[in-house]
Structure 1
Amino acid sequence: MAEAPKAVEPPVRAAVGRHSSIVYSDDRRWAEHLCTFVRDGLDRHEAMRYFAYATEPAQVLRTLSDAGIDAQEAVRSGQLTVTNVAAPHRGDAVFDPDGLIGRWHEGVDAAFADGYRGLRVIGEMSWAERDTDDADRMLEYELRVHHEVFERLPLTGWCFYDRRLMSEERLNVLAGAHLTHRGDSVAEPTLQVAPLDGAPGFLLNGSAGWDTRRTVAAAAAALVRTPHPRPELDFSALQHLDADSLVTLAQAAARRPGGAPLRIRQAPPTLRRLLDLFPELGSTMEVVVR
């Protein structure tokens, strides 16, 4: 008997627009984003997962039903699940970016196995406000997930940020790590780090100094762990880079497997002067002209 042909997976759409930060400050706006997300999932025949932190699952389902969406049928069929978790995706009280990235691959495989054309996920992110260390790992994750997940998989993820539950600085840093923003506008933090569009790496925007050392450390962790052999840092929007931040990034480049220098786009004069002062850093960083 001839072997049955394998199911053809739909092509992965452009990553930009499928990983979005959703900032809101009232329940009405939360409901609007929720209903838009679920309606799109139903139209596309995609599996949907809602990971709640501050919202009761019953409220999610009631809101959908009030908007004319047959949420109960979507739950019954398995297309929609709503899970109330104290801190999303944490195992043994530790946030693990590597483990979560692996689970997205497993989740998409499971969605295909169930006959869906992709997976879409909402995660309430206000839990990051209560734990500084996990918030730093969360920033590392948000920076990595664009290239490691959304450029490879038919996954749509909306990260819900409730302005009422988070400090403006932390919300702005985490929301700014997405290439697509929906909902309320956010102010640019002192230092914003976001994935590059079209190449593996990150864009630094603003000022990197003592006050932003945790953001720089999260970007450095993302550089160490990203699997891409030649990631880049784009400094074209960077206004200030202190020596400590440069050393943190250079040490991250040195810890990457393979030994290839980290590529730096649009190096500011201050970076070139620092490299002149610390020539040992030159072996870990390569300034490129674009």
Structure 2
Amino acid sequence: MPTVAAPSEREPAAGRHSSVVFADDREWAHHLCAFVRDGLERGEEVRYVADTTEPGRVLATLADAGIDAEGAAARGQLSVSTAAGTYLAGARFDPDAAIEGWHAAVESSSARGHRGLRVIGEMAWGARDIIGADRLLEYELRLHHEVFEPLPLTGWCFYDRRLLPEEYVNVLAGAHPAHRGDPVDGAALQVAPLTDRPGLLMAGSAGYDMRAVVTAAAAALKDTPAERVELNLSALRHLDAASLATLAGAAADRPAGGALRVRHAPPSLRRLLDLFPEFGSALEVVDR
């Protein structure tokens, strides 16, 4: 991946990848205008990737708020595209290709003289019958370490409650290091990136009904390029045998090598490791 020189001052990575949850047009416009105005004032390139919103409505809303959207677009600092024309342009949604795409986009933006890149993406497409959409949670969990830490990129993911199931919003919004907008109720199983080291935090209960969430977390852990990766289970109440097998299998298949360090393992995991010691070969369980 290309290396991009970051500006001297920017918000820490944990604050630059945010979920934004809203339930009406007024909230949507408020977050949109705040994001775009801040980016233009900072000399950053600003992109809006629409899914259900007409691109013309985005520009009109900005103009109504006193933002010179037309001028920014004319000088190449503001653009509005669609998910169908960007990361959904291929036959399927591919997290690896999307991550590579962000590196290329930031490099291109920097080459044109912008101090950074900031992007709003509407996420309603993830709940539709799109090939690869089941990998969206895996993608969100990988972005912090693979994209936002190394790059001068700010990204807000828009979740419209009117278009999405509540559990979908809870899980996907919770996968971001930062959150803005409407509060979200905790999902039965919440997974989020650790912000101080490569790895994930899992909270809640990892049982049969949360199998898709566990699978996404395992895929994100497997593909993390760092050699040492940690899974913090300090807020996990329960983990069943199938979930443990999924996580252990991902740890064993990590191309970067190195055991998956499991911190604050719940009693249920320790009991399972006693019953199935073969799962422990790729896991390093530590007490603190």
Common topology (TM > 0.5): yes
Contact 2:118 2:154 in 1 (8 A): yes
> What letter matches 1:102 in structure 2?
E
Runs of 4+ off more than 3 Å? 85-88, 132-135
- Find the partner of 2:59 among 52, 58, 61: 61
Q: Relative to structure 2, which stretch is displaced further, 127-136 or 17-26?
A: 127-136
The Cα of 1:165 is off from its aligned counterpart by 0.3
Instruction: Measure, in 2, the Cα distance between the counterparts of 1:85 and 1:217.
Output: 25
Which AA in structure 1 matches 2:53? T
| 1:182 and 2:180 correspond | yes
CA-to-aligned-CA distance 1:155-214 (integer Å, 9 cap, x gap):
000000000000001111111100110000111111010001201000001000100000
**1: CA distance between counterparts of 2:71 and 2:202?**
45
| Structure-to-structure mapping, 1:122-161, within 5 angstroms | 122-131=120-129, 134-161=132-159
Between stretches 60-69 and 256-265, larger displacement belongs to 256-265
Cα distance in 2 for partners of 1:44, 1:59 equals: 24
Shift of 1:9: 4.2
5+ residue gaps, structure 1? 1-6
Give distance in 1, aligned partners of 2:5 and 2:99.
23
Q: Percent identity?
A: 63
8 Å Cα contact 2:91/2:131 also seen in 1: no
Partner of 1:3: none
- Tell me which amino acid in the other structure corresponds to 2:15: G
CA drift at 1:87: 7.3
Q: How does 1:277-288 map to 2 (within 5 A)?
A: 277-288=275-286
The corresponding residue for 1:196 is 194
* Local SS of the residue matching 1:95: coil
**How far 1:127 moved relative to its partner?**
0.7
Counterpart of 1:146 in 2: which secondary structure?
A: helix
Partner of 1:48: 46
- Within 2, Cα distance between the matches of 1:73 and 1:253? 50
The aligned counterpart of 2:71 is 73
| Aligned residue number for residue 101 of structure 1 | 99
Letter of the 1:109 counterpart:
E
Count of aligned positions: 284
Q: Quick check: 1:208 aligned with 2:206?
A: yes
5 Å-filtered alignment, 1:178-257, equals 178-257=176-255
Greater shift, 206-215 or 89-98, is seen at 89-98
The CA RMSD measured in Å over matched residues stands at: 1.5
User: How many angstroms apart in 2 are the aligned matches of 1:170 and 1:113?
Assistant: 37
- Mean Cα displacement is larger for which, 251-260 or 51-60? 251-260
Question: How far is the alpha carbon of 1:132 from its aligned partner?
Answer: 7.2
Q: Given the two structures, how large is their TM-score scaled by the length of structure 2?
A: 0.95
Question: How much does 1:131 deviate?
Answer: 2.7
2:7 — aligned with what?
A: 10
Structure 1 length-normalised TM:
0.94
